[in-house]
Amino acid sequence: DQQVKQNSPSLSVQEGRISILNCDYTNSMFDYFLWYKKYPAEGPTFLISISSIKDKNEDGRFTVFLNKSAKHLSLHIVPSQPGDSAVYFCAARNNAGNMLTFGGGTRLMVKP
Amino acid sequence: EPEVTQTPSHQVTQMGQEVILRCVPISNHLYFYWYRQILGQKVEFLVSFYNNEISEKSEIFDDQFSVERPDGSNFTLKIRSTKLEDSAMYFCASSEGDRAYEQYFGPGTRLTVT
């Protein structure tokens, strides 16, 4: 099942710089997209969501961009902090229900 | 801040045994979910539950699985006869009625089937 794909397994960024995490999807029936952060031995923590009718949503240091024609979304974290080091998952909801389909995750490492 | 809680944090069981994983969703949430993550794989949807019945389930959620909301606070996942391939992290999640897509996850139960 490759409906949601995160092609970069890892990303390393310097503290204070921008982190850009990418996600691609194939299913046109997705109506909401979400980003989650996960630390080891914890559950996914909800960060930010975006409706498929929007192209940008911002919450503090986190901004999600959606390019519907390219079926691509990205999460920008500015400025990056060492505490942001975690695995980030992109997820999408099919408009037929509430099931979330997850990508494989990207491990972000923010170096002091 | 309200959070989803899960017990136990780790469960070890023998193949063929029944296990019950427990969750307490966020109190004003209406939708409840189970997901699992096998080591090294993606987080996968199992089932959603709303208004005391299953509203969606995946192909993984076969007759060996069942869910129940036995009282006003708990939400359980039962696996009747565990198999080795059921070893995974099991996450419970819940969401409000208006923003059902924003699902809040518990810390997970690590199930090890030997």
Question: What's the Cα-to-Cα distance from B87 to each of A83, A88, B31, B62, B109, rounded to whole Å?
Answer: 30, 23, 25, 16, 10
Q: Do residues A110 and A80 touch, judged by C-beta distance below 8 A?
A: yes
Residue B71 — very low, low, confident or very high, per pLDDT cuts 50/70/90? confident
Indicate the length of chain A as a whole number. Answer: 112
Q: What is the mean pLDDT of residues B41-70?
A: 95
Candidates A7, A49, A99: best to mutate against B (most CBs of B within 10 A) is A99
Examine the pLDDT at B17 and tell me if it is beyond 80. yes
Q: Give the one of B43, B93, B108 whose C-beta lies nearest to A89's C-beta.
A: B43
Place of tokens 């990205």: A74
Examine the pLDDT at B47 and tell me if it is beyond 70. yes
Per-residue pLDDT at B61: 97
Residue A1 — very low, low, confident or very high, per pLDDT cuts 50/70/90? low
Strands of chain B (E only): list them.
5-7, 10-13, 19-24, 31-37, 43-50, 53-57, 65-68, 75-79, 88-95, 104-105, 109-113
Which chain A positions have a beta carbon within 8 Å of B93's beta carbon?
Answer: 43
Which chain A positions have a beta carbon within 8 Å of B33's beta carbon?
Answer: 98
More confident site: A41 or B75:
B75
Q: Do residues A10 and A111 touch, judged by C-beta distance below 8 A?
A: no
